[in-house]
Structure 1
Amino acid sequence: MEHLPEIGLAFGAFALGMLSPGPNILSVIGTSMAVSRRAGLALALGISAGSLIWASMTAIGLTALISAYASVLTIIKIAGGLYLLWLAFKAFRSAATTAAAKAPSSLDSGGLYAFFFRGLAIQLTNPKAALTWIAIMSLGLAHSAPASTALTIVIGTTILSVAGHAAYAVAFSTERIIAIYQRARRWIDLTLGVFFTAAGIKLLTSRP
């Protein structure tokens, strides 16, 4: 009970991060509008799984080791930057087409796994996630905090991640939103392409 204020701070910082659009949230929004709600939810679960992995590693101190070795962090940065540029390429290619892309025919036979692993890749190749989790754990874990406090933060933030990303997937897969997307599809894809390009270049050129 004495560590509840720190846990609340950690949850609050994580929730605020969910409100700021980044590659993960924009990917969920774009997939939900362009493909389907199920695909968006699968992507959301993949992102949440990646968040759980980062949170768990931070709780046991592994991300502190990662951040201490520039070479490891550089590899993650390069992988993340190239992946964002690949997403930008796909968005630009979609914007260049005259018709909206259809959901893959394999969606019911393994296609959802592809979206799940795409979300997992987006989260795990983001070195900022490691630094963000270090900050969140620093807020939530006092020097005297027991292991149960770290476990509470990991479980709680994972639940928030699933709920938050799933909410984006559901909200942006409604008929009204999809109709808006169909009318403005090329501009939306172009905007996503510009964002992913800028984020990828920034990640590749920033210092570790």
Structure 2
Amino acid sequence: MFTVSSIVMYMGATVLLILIPGPDLIFAVTQGAANGRRAGVYTAAGLAAGNVVHTLAAALGLSILIKTSPLLFTLFKIAGALYLFNLARKSLKYRKSAIRPASDENRNERGLFVRGVTMNVLNPKVAIFFLTFLPQFVNYDYGFAPLQMIVLGLLFIMLSAIIFGLLAYFAGVFSSRLLEKPRVQEYANIAAGSIFVLLGIKLLTTSP
């Protein structure tokens, strides 16, 4: 289905693209720095898992609707921005609260995973990226293009989960001692809220 050289080229391009600071990467590192390494890893896993939706959409051709319909693109964009603004509101509203709740930790981690999935799925730029990036590495002579795109998408998801997870983890490690101080926790929440607002504005101002 794929040659060794094409897979190596694809994985190299994927790693470089993942490392480019974008909303997902910034979001994962911010969660790790503000809430600790476990929070960062769960958020990174959610962001990576959200790409499953985009992979399937690209393989089935559904992402074309977003690329060709200004109305649908705008609706996705607004929904994603509103979600980010809501996260910013919560971060600023509870900025003096302890960042990591002591009770129901597993439930909190599941919430971070869902948050990562939601942010990724509601980003129309990711859908268009998958639609335009994956087909470049499909071997059309072999056939089964949708299956090839799914395989390529799964490789992308695996690499993004590893890279996002590592960066978010180490962001949590380096900030863990600082976050033991209430004042630093408050500043971290304010910084996180500000970043969410900037990401939301950036999403609103993007074009197909």
Q: TM-score range by the shorter chain?
A: 0.7 to 0.9
Of 111, 116, 131, the match for 2:113: 116
User: 1:27 is aligned with what amino acid?
Assistant: F
Whole-angstrom CA distance in 2 between matches of 1:2 and 1:113: 36
Q: Which residue of 2 aligns with 1:106?
A: 104
Question: How do 1:31-180 and structure 2 match up within 5 A?
Answer: 31-95=31-95, 97=96, 100-103=98-101, 105-108=103-106, 110-147=107-144, 149-174=148-173, 176-180=174-178
Task: Give the direction of change, closer, same or farther, for the CA distance of 1:178–1:154 in structure 2 (3 Å limit).
Answer: same
Contact 2:134/2:153 (8 A) holds in 1: no
* 1:82 CA displacement: 0.7
Whole-angstrom CA distance in 2 between matches of 1:205 and 1:30: 22
Identity of aligned residues (%): 27
Structure 1 unaligned residues grouped into runs of 5+: none
Moved over 6 A (4+): none
User: 2:99 is aligned with what amino acid?
Assistant: A
Task: Give the direction of change, closer, same or farther, for the CA distance of 1:39–1:187 in structure 2 (3 Å limit).
Answer: closer
Whole-angstrom CA distance in 1 between matches of 2:188 and 2:175: 12
Whole-angstrom CA distance in 1 between matches of 2:187 and 2:36: 19
User: 2:137 is aligned with what amino acid?
Assistant: G
1:126-183, Cα deviation, whole Å (9 max, x unpaired): 1110122123213312543533532431221121122112212321232x43123456
Moved more, 1-10 or 145-154: 1-10
User: 1:149 is aligned with what amino acid?
Assistant: Q
Structure 2 unaligned residues grouped into runs of 5+: none
User: 2:165 is aligned with what amino acid?
Assistant: A
RMSD over aligned CA atoms reads 2.6
1:21-56, Cα deviation, whole Å (9 max, x unpaired): 333223322333333433332222211110122122
